[in-house]
Structure 1
């Protein structure tokens, strides 16, 4: 009660202010020597006169401080006038007479009157969002017969609503935005009482707690309603039944706990995400529902939703709930028969599912995307060829998979398979060869080993190595992720007849790469990731991979790169955080033609042994994104030198110094030897003289 009264006082303060603007104009027009004529019929007390004078002063002050803006402040594009963010309190003077769109957003408009809008009535679109509007002149929009779009979002319309005065007819308005206005239950009625053409209504981010059964009685043509981010707890029976054209309804981010007897037959898109839903139940009916998309994500549902028997549903999202079964109720008997013949997208990720029976998918012949990641699933199988015939994406990542089975001739259209984060150790050796359309395979964070290539593997009598998976002859596989699998080795010809474009073998410490491990990928491989493998030497000649463009060898123990014999096609090479002292000159020559990006920071490089690569960097022929940490060591400097500052003279000077030192040392040695020779000759001469005297 207190809040309502204070708000009403605020409203009655606003009205005199709007009237006082007219009085101020009279004061100004009277001039310094004129007198203000008073109406003899108006009888006011002395106190009332002082109050009026005070209101005049308050209201005139901001008017003089912020005079009406000029059209030069705005941008005019054909019949559109754009005056956003100009600190205006009203439309600029001299608006073009044929203006159709006025953008007054992000200004200081407080009172919305005919004067505020320059007495124009021909607007088609009016954008007033992000102002301070708390008063709208009643029936202001009645003469705007062409007004189709009205944006009043981010204002203070809750103050106006406290007056319990209708804004008047909005007969032509098709799109109305009242979001972020502090409106609560019942306040929207003052804006919707006469909106027969309204098709798109936004009431987002207000404080509405209940949707009354007569809330939309004045806007029966509405097709799209958004009530996102309110505090809705209750929806009265029949609140949406009269809206026969309603096709989209957004009730996300509210406090709705249950939907019982859902019966909006014409609704096509329904968003109930981020509520507190525990159940969703449809009315028992043989009528066909038009629902295409249903979002129930981020709720508290324990069971699969009870969907209409006859439906066209294509998109269903029940992720981030508390599902522990695919049953519709807790009773295992008399479960409703699911009929989802049109369903293409199903997301049940981030729940508590432990298993999904194959029978669950029999009612989904059109399913293309299945996401059941981040559950507790231990087994998953597709054994019947009629199941998931159209599925293109299956996401089983971050589960507890111990068993994965795909039967012969199943999943013939599957293109993307996500299995990362399952700690898988054993799979059927040729499970992926059975998937003829597979292009993307994610196996990160498992414990799989790669089988050696064996041409006779198809021979049933041939003994295959235990506990490994074959990746040869997966004829359409382009992207393979095997990081964090504790891989020990990549066998010779491991990927023969598999046209990989991307291969990720990162985070497998101690990985042993044979010189022919990547044989068969010469014409296809574009991306190669080998980071964080503790590799000390790279045995593979990467220049033999003719299509290779992006290589990541960062965070290893490399002290050198094997000499490459051919011109490379590599455009991006990551060598940072290794033990490289010198980059082989032949390798640099092989890279020089194609290399565009080089990461080489955090290496103990020698300044004078890498002048050729430093020259490429300094000439901007190669970009070094981590240039700040790319340093080298010079014997005459106590601190590492940034590679951008290395000059040939620094190294020539070192060569001269070394030459001088060598010459001096040589001369000293020669002088010592000469001295010894002279001394020796003198001794011999003395001995000879003694012999002669005897």
Structure 2
């Protein structure tokens, strides 16, 4: 018994609505006055959607007889006009969800809709123009458990504005103009979103009461200090990213240390701040932490030597800082799986740094200045990447690498290796030894490679290889056991693509990128025929061209035919044959002339 009448330019509900309709969708129509007549005198609705109309008048008491109405959506109308009349809409006896968003409501106007809403649990007032939340704003809706005030202009929240809402579990105050929260005391609240405000301070009341808050979002504010949170808390998610934090001290004064225990905290985000250091003491009370994000700060050194700290952490993101020093003590971070260190200044590390992390499987190191150690243990100005048994993902792009020594990744299970954007990179024939059965993705783009010393045919599991933007003139060789599915050859110097090599790959190859190469049309006929008539996908085929001597502009490979080259060959043969014939005729003429001259001379001598 659901009736959908959206987008029909209606000014009221259809007059022939059947009895017993439970849901009526009149959204995005032209309803202006909401009365009993507008709704065809039906009162049995459970769900009424009037979103996106032009409603500026509601008949007082319209909903008092709708004892089954649970969901009422009045969003995106002109209810500010109705509120100016200072008339209550009356009893909302059973309504549990009310949406008043995008109605141009000012401070105090919501009172006329909430004055008698005893069952209301979910309220949305987002995208209005409310500047103040007063003590009596929600006095007529004491059962509220979720309030959405996102995207208003809230500057002030009166003391006790939410205190009477014992069931309030979720409160969204994001994207407003709140400058500070002091004496936060909502013990029953579970989720609080204060992101995108102008917050400079967040402080909880000093209380031994247990706070139920599990998720707190303070991102995109102007906070200088770490928030002062309840001592007795069960917080699991804390986001203080995109603020102005210069210290993780809650007062900004290093001599005044206030300890708050975060025994349940699993996720903390401090990214995009101005932190210069992150002391080990900060983690003393975070026994359950799983994800730590401190990317995009100004941290120059990170050290963890106490093996009892961060025992549960799985992800650490230190990317885009100013790291020059990184130290992990023995038996620390035993559960760490992902480590993000990209965009730092790392050049010298303890060669065994990553061998101390037994669970590490994902390591991001691009945009640093690290060198890869060979198997010689006496070398100290490089990093070992072998013997990390669980390592699956390693990114070493943009490290100014010059060489990849033999056995550089032995005793690992790498499935993805990125060595891109290291111009002049020299690889040894045995650089990838040990990865024969594990490596699936290999990225070598933008390395200025003119050839490959590494034997790729031995990598039996390799499925995707990126060789784009190099100086390759020939393809690597592969055997019939190859499992290559995707090959990127864009932006190289390939004139011919060996047909036998591609024939070897044809069994497994599914995707080929080959644009921006000086391909010859007529020297690649067999290969081009394969591309045109096989199931091979060339995503950039519209831009793939080849050079034909009889055409002033490059030719799209889709347009190349054997006849184009055969006719050109025949014309060339005819021209050569004509030239040979002309030369032969000239030679014959010269020979005849010479013979005649000798015969005449002989006759003169005879007569003499």
* Partners of 1:544 and 1:566 within 8 A in 2: no
| 1:351 is the counterpart of 2:265 | no
| 1:469 is the counterpart of 2:383 | yes
Match of 2:346 in 1: 424
Match of 1:451 in 2: 373
Return the offset for 1:107: 0.9
Match of 2:444 in 1: 530
Match of 1:216 in 2: 138
The Cα offsets for residues 484-507 of structure 1, whole Å up to 9 and x where unpaired, read as: 111111112211121111111111
Match of 1:118 in 2: 40
| 1:635 is the counterpart of 2:549 | yes
Match of 2:495 in 1: 581
* Partners of 1:142 and 1:171 within 8 A in 2: yes
Q: Aligned equivalents of 1:667 and 1:544: distance in 2?
A: 55
SS at match of 1:288: coil
| 1:369 is the counterpart of 2:291 | yes
Match of 2:562 in 1: 648
User: Which 10-residue stretch deviates more, 524-533 or 668-677?
Assistant: 668-677
Match of 1:341 in 2: 263
Q: Aligned equivalents of 1:181 and 1:689: distance in 2?
A: 125
Q: Aligned equivalents of 1:83 and 1:618: distance in 2?
A: 51
More helix by share: 1
SS at match of 1:217: coil
The within-5 A match list for 1:54-453 is: 79-453=1-375
The Cα offsets for residues 388-415 of structure 1, whole Å up to 9 and x where unpaired, read as: 0000000000101111001111111111
* Partners of 1:573 and 1:598 within 8 A in 2: yes
Q: Aligned equivalents of 1:167 and 1:619: distance in 2?
A: 71
Return the offset for 1:328: 0.9
* Partners of 1:85 and 1:106 within 8 A in 2: yes
Q: Aligned equivalents of 1:596 and 1:268: distance in 2?
A: 50
Q: Aligned equivalents of 1:246 and 1:126: distance in 2?
A: 24
Q: Aligned equivalents of 2:526 and 2:312: distance in 1?
A: 55
Return the offset for 1:542: 2.8
Q: Aligned equivalents of 1:562 and 1:299: distance in 2?
A: 53
| 1:481 is the counterpart of 2:403 | no
Q: Which runs of 5+ in 1 are unaligned?
A: 1-78, 458-462
Q: When the two structures are aligned, how many residues end up with a matched partner?
A: 608
Return the offset for 1:684: 5.4
RMSD: 1.6
Q: Which runs of 5+ in 2 are unaligned?
A: none
Match for residue 526 of structure 2 among 612, 615, 619: 612
* Partners of 1:83 and 1:105 within 8 A in 2: yes
The Cα offsets for residues 23-51 of structure 1, whole Å up to 9 and x where unpaired, read as: xxxxxxxxxxxxxxxxxxxxxxxxxxxxx
Match for residue 504 of structure 1 among 396, 414, 418: 418
Return the offset for 1:643: 0.7
Return the offset for 1:545: 1.8
* Partners of 1:303 and 1:326 within 8 A in 2: yes
Q: Aligned equivalents of 1:192 and 1:334: distance in 2?
A: 45
* Partners of 2:480 and 2:505 within 8 A in 1: no
Q: Aligned equivalents of 1:680 and 1:236: distance in 2?
A: 122
Q: Aligned equivalents of 2:419 and 2:293: distance in 1?
A: 25
**1:676–1:539 CA distance, 2 compared to 1 (3 A):** farther
Match of 2:476 in 1: 562
User: TM-score, normalized by length of structure 1?
Assistant: 0.85
Q: Aligned equivalents of 2:275 and 2:600: distance in 1?
A: 109
Q: Aligned equivalents of 2:279 and 2:357: distance in 1?
A: 21
Return the offset for 1:446: 0.4
* Partners of 2:456 and 2:477 within 8 A in 1: no
* Partners of 1:563 and 1:586 within 8 A in 2: no
* Partners of 2:64 and 2:93 within 8 A in 1: yes
Match of 1:27 in 2: none
Q: Aligned equivalents of 1:383 and 1:89: distance in 2?
A: 71
Match of 1:45 in 2: none
**Greater Rg, structure 1 or structure 2?**
1
The Cα offsets for residues 224-279 of structure 1, whole Å up to 9 and x where unpaired, read as: 01101111111111111110000101111111111111111100001111111111
The Cα offsets for residues 155-199 of structure 1, whole Å up to 9 and x where unpaired, read as: 000000001110011110000000010011111111111111111
The Cα offsets for residues 451-500 of structure 1, whole Å up to 9 and x where unpaired, read as: 1134xx3xxxxx22x32111111111111111111111111221112111
* Partners of 1:607 and 1:646 within 8 A in 2: yes
SS at match of 1:405: strand
* Partners of 2:457 and 2:479 within 8 A in 1: yes
Q: Aligned equivalents of 2:106 and 2:207: distance in 1?
A: 34
User: Which 10-residue stretch deviates more, 668-677 or 406-415?
Assistant: 668-677
Match for residue 575 of structure 2 among 661, 664, 682: 661
